[in-house]
Amino acid sequence: MALPPPFFFLLIATLPSLFPFISAFSPLGPCSAPPDHGSTLHILPTFSPCSPPSPFHDTTLLSLSNRDVSRFLYLSAAAAPSRRRSFVPIASGRNLLQSSTYVARAFLGTPPQPLLVSLDISSDVAWLPCSSCSGCLPSSVFFSPNRSSSFLPLTCNSPPCSFLPIPSCPAKTCTFNFTYGSSSISTTLAQDTLSLASDSISSYTFACIASTSGGSLPPQGLLGLGRGPLSFISQTKNLYFSTFSYCLPGFLSPNFAGTLRLGLSGQPQRIHTTPLLSNPHRPSLYYVNLKSIRVGRKRLSIPPSALAFNSSTGAGTIFDSGTMFTRLVSPAYTALRDEFRLRVNSTVSSLGGFDTCYNGPVVFPTITFEFDGMNMTLSEENTIIHSSRGTLSCLAMASAPDNVNSVLNVIASMQQQNHRVLFDLPNRRVGVSREPCTS
C-alpha cells in the first residue's frame, strides 16, 4: 500500500439543523463547492442555502435545543451498560435524532458517486440511503449500487456481519434493522470503494438503507468516526493509524470552513492532551477525565461523583460532534450556572432550554474545563449564544433534561468550535488547542 500523502483534509460545514434547509443541500447543487484538487476539499454550504445567517432566531434556537435533547437522550442511553442495543435510542419523535451537526463530502463506488455524510464521532457504522430505498425522502442524496462495479453485498458469514449489534439473516445477505427517531430502518450490509479527499479505501463496509418508515430519517448519510470495529477509524487503521483531528467552524462565522485531518502527518505536535478512557460497554464513545470546572479563577465545588468515570454505570465525560450544546449532570451544571450568574450579576431570564440569559450588554466570565493534564478555556464564542430577539444572550450549556437520570457529561460542538481537537488512539489521548478554522 502506498504511504499516505502528507495529510488529508476533508472540509466540514455546519449542517443546517432544520429539515427544509438540508434538502436544499446537494453535492451537485447551486451552492456546491468547485471540484476538489490535491488533498483539500472545498467547503460545503451551510445554514441558509448559500450564505451565513445573522444571530439565531428564537425558533431556530428552540428547535436546536430540542434536537439536542434527543441527541443527548440517545447518547445517555448508549452509555448505559444495560442497554446493549446501541442503535436504539430511547427518545423518539424528533427529527435528526442521531444526526451530527457537521457534514463532509465523500464519494462511493466505481465510478465514484458524490455523497454528503454527517460526521459523528459517537457512532460506528456508516449508513446511506440507497437508490432502491422505499420510504426515504425524495430529496435524499442516494447511492446507486447498480451503477457501481465494485459494490458487494455482504453475506451473513462475512466477518463484518459479526460486529453488528443485532444482525439478522433472512436470506444469505447480512441485514440489520434499527430505529432512528420515529423511523424504523432496514439496511443491508455491503462494501464498496470510499473516496475521501485524494484517498481511496477499497472494500469499505457500510449499511445500505433498503427501507424506512416513519419519516424522521435525514436525507444524507452518516459516517461513524467512533472507536468500534465498524467505524471509519477502525476500517482505515492501516492507512490513518487511528489518528484524526478536526476543527469545527463557528456556527455564526462568515467563514464556515472546517477541516477533518486524517492520519499522522500534519497533526499538531505541541498540543496539550488528556488520556482517552475506554468503556468496554460503550466502545464507540470518546471518554475523558474532566476533573474540575472553573468560572473565572474560581474552581467550582462539584461532588467528585458528578464527574467521575465509571464504566459500569456509563458515568463520565465524552467529547461529541453531534450535540450542539454542552450538557452537564445536574450538580455540575448547577454549580457552574450559579457561579456564572454571580459573576454576571444582572437580571436573569430564560429561553427554552437555556436558563441563564441576559438582556443588554453584560460582561461574561470565562469557563475552563480542567481535564487530566489539559485545560480548555472557552472564549465567549464557545460560551454564549446570541438570539436575534433584542440583545438576548444565553449561556450555551444545560443540565441533563429533568426527566432523565443521566450520569453523562457531553462536551458538545459549540464548545469545541475553533479548536483543533486531536484523537490519537494509538497513544490513547485527546488533545485540544485553540485554532481559528480556515480551509
Ligand X SMILES: *[C@@H]1O[C@H](CO)[C@@H](O)[C@H](O)[C@H]1NC(C)=O
Residue choice 373, 379, 433, 439 for contact with ligand X (CB under 6 A)? 373
DSSP string across 342-406: HHH-S--EEETTEEEEE-S--PPPPEEEEETTEEEEE-HHHHEEEBSSTT-EEESEEESPTT---
Work out whether 278 is an interface residue with ligand X (CB under 6 A): no
Residue 225 is placed in which grid cell? 468516526
**Positions 8 through 47 that interact with ligand X (CB under 6 A):** none
CB 271 to ligand X: min, Å: 12
Distance (Å, whole) CA 309 – CA 288: 8
Q: How far is the CB of 65 from ligand X (least distance, A)?
A: 28
* CB of residue 373 to ligand X, shortest distance in Å: 5
Q: Give residue 85's identity as a one-letter amino acid code.
A: R
Q: Smaller CB distance to ligand X: residue 186 or 234?
A: 186
CA distance 136 to 113: 18
Q: Is 405 in the site for ligand X (CB under 6 A)?
A: no
- Regarding 168 and contact with ligand X (CB under 6 A), the answer is yes
Task: Calculate the alpha carbon distances from 80 to 77, 83, 184, 316, 405 in Å.
Answer: 5, 6, 22, 11, 11
Amino acid at 381: E
Q: Nearest approach, Cβ of 378 to ligand X (angstroms)? A: 13
Q: Where are the beta strands (DSSP E) in 181-297?
A: 183-196, 199-213, 221-224, 243-247, 258-262, 273-277, 286-288, 290-295
The DSSP code for 287 is E
Report in angstroms how near the CB of residue 179 gets to ligand X at its nearest: 11
Binding mask 321-360 for ligand X (x = CB under 6 A): ------------------------x---------------
- Catalytic, 58? Answer no
From the list 155-163, 233-241, 367-375, 378-386, the region that binds ligand X by CB under 6 A is 367-375
Site stretch for ligand X (CB under 6 A), options 118-126, 277-285, 372-380, 431-439: 372-380
| Amino acid making up residue 377 | T
C-alpha 99/C-alpha 75 separation (Å) is 11
Alpha-carbon gap, residue 8 to 3, rounded angstroms: 12
320 assigned to active site: yes
3-class secondary-structure state, position 143: strand
CB of 189 to ligand X, least distance (A): 13
**Torsion of Cα atoms, 326 then 330 then 333 then 338, to 10°:** 150
**C-alpha distances in Å from residue 317, one per residue of 183, 285, 288, 366:** 29, 10, 6, 20
Is the CB of 132 or the CB of 379 nearer to ligand X?
132
- Does residue 149 interact with ligand X by CB under 6 A? no
Q: Which stretch binds ligand X (CB under 6 A): 68-76, 89-97, 351-359, 370-378?
A: 370-378
Q: State how beta strands 183-196 and 152-153 pair.
A: antiparallel
Q: Which of 124, 192, 320, 424 is catalytic?
A: 320
Cell numbers linked to 332: 455540575
Total residues contacting ligand X by CB under 6 A comes to: 16
Considering only 308-316, 324-332, 394-402, 424-432, which stretch makes contact with ligand X by CB under 6 A?
Answer: 308-316
The stretch among 94-102, 121-129, 154-162, 371-379 that binds ligand X (CB under 6 A) is 371-379
Residues 58-97 that bind ligand X (CB under 6 A): none
- Site for ligand X, residues 104 to 133, rule: CB under 6 A: 131-132
Active-site pick, 120, 124, 192, 424: 120
Chain residues that interact with ligand X, rule: CB under 6 A: 131-132, 146, 168, 177, 186, 211, 272, 310, 312-313, 345, 370, 373-375
Report the catalytic residues: 120, 320
